[in-house]
Structure 1
Amino acid sequence: MPVLQFDTSAAMTAGEKRAFARRVRSLYAEHMDTGTDHVAVVIRERTESELSIGRADPDQPCLVLDAEIRRGREFERKRSFALAVMGLANDAWAIPDPNMKVVFTEHAGEDVMGVDRVGSERAGDESN
């Protein structure tokens, strides 16, 4: 049950946010070999003064993804997902590569829960 939290200074309409969230869920499912119904996406717009990356061009928008995921995903899966998400953001809003960052935080399965279930440890092709 990942929570993918985006902070960005790119201007987005509500429709663009919904479309971006759908595409992010699809990319997560594709790269992590899972489903989409349990993937939470949060998009927070920030002003230019609220979001910065040291190496970033201050005149261009930034994007930071804090990906809270269950532990056990292979590095290659995380890296391919991160690159795909940054590519998506670049295509959608022309965010330059130096202006993007992805940080993964891994949790035990039981640390991530909804009303109807508690996550489990990764074991093959499961969808939570």
Structure 2
Amino acid sequence: MPSLQLDIHSELLPPEKQALARAMSEEYSRIMGSDPKLMTIVIRNLPNGSIWHCTDDEPVPGTLLMCDVRVGRDRATRHRLADRLIDLITARTGVGREDIKVEFTQHTGDEMFHPFLGGFNRDWDESEASADP
């Protein structure tokens, strides 16, 4: 953890996805106080007509960013992260800001297994934010 999953109706080439994933990882690590080695980012290009944002009228094409994170960050921190990730996505894909939805699911550290850590992660705490990754 964290795991970020971006479902987007824009066509991004692998180098564009890699650059976006790196930028998202850097911002996540900076804002959330986490080691970038813990990150997994999935970017899925969905065919036109595959993802919809429902409105009072007809559904419109949408973009969804799911953020599975360790519990412990306050609402303001998650808000800053959502705003910055939306900025990155709009700048690199042309998707409109209002077309992006960000959802957070918070987990304890023992809900994510990292072989390179030797097992389960630990719970996040503020001391991690001040440590050099």
Number of aligned pairs? Answer: 126
Matched residue SS, 1:11? coil
| Aligned twin of 2:125 | 123
TM-score, normalised to structure 2, is 0.86
Residues 31-110 of structure 1 correspond to what in structure 2 (within 5 A)? 31-55=31-55, 58=60, 62-110=62-110
Letter of the 1:100 counterpart:
I
Structure with the larger helix share: 2
| Sequence identity percentage | 23
Matched residue SS, 1:88? helix
Would you identify which runs of 4 or more consecutive aligned residues in structure 1 move more than 4 Å? none
Matched residue SS, 2:23? helix
Q: Give the RMSD, CA atoms, in angstroms.
A: 1.9
Quote the Cα distance in structure 2 between the aligned partners of 1:62 and 1:95: 9
Q: Does 1:26 align with 2:64?
A: no
Question: Tell me, which stretches of 5 or more residues in structure 1 are unaligned?
Answer: none
Quote the Cα distance in structure 2 between the aligned partners of 1:125 and 1:32: 12
Question: Tell me, which stretches of 5 or more residues in structure 2 are unaligned?
Answer: none
Q: Are the aligned partners of 1:7 and 1:44 in contact in 2 as well (CA < 8 Å)? A: yes
Structure with the larger strand share: 2
| Structure with bigger gyration radius | 2
Quote the Cα distance in structure 1 between the aligned partners of 2:33 and 2:123: 14
Deviation at 1:114, TM superposition (A): 1.3
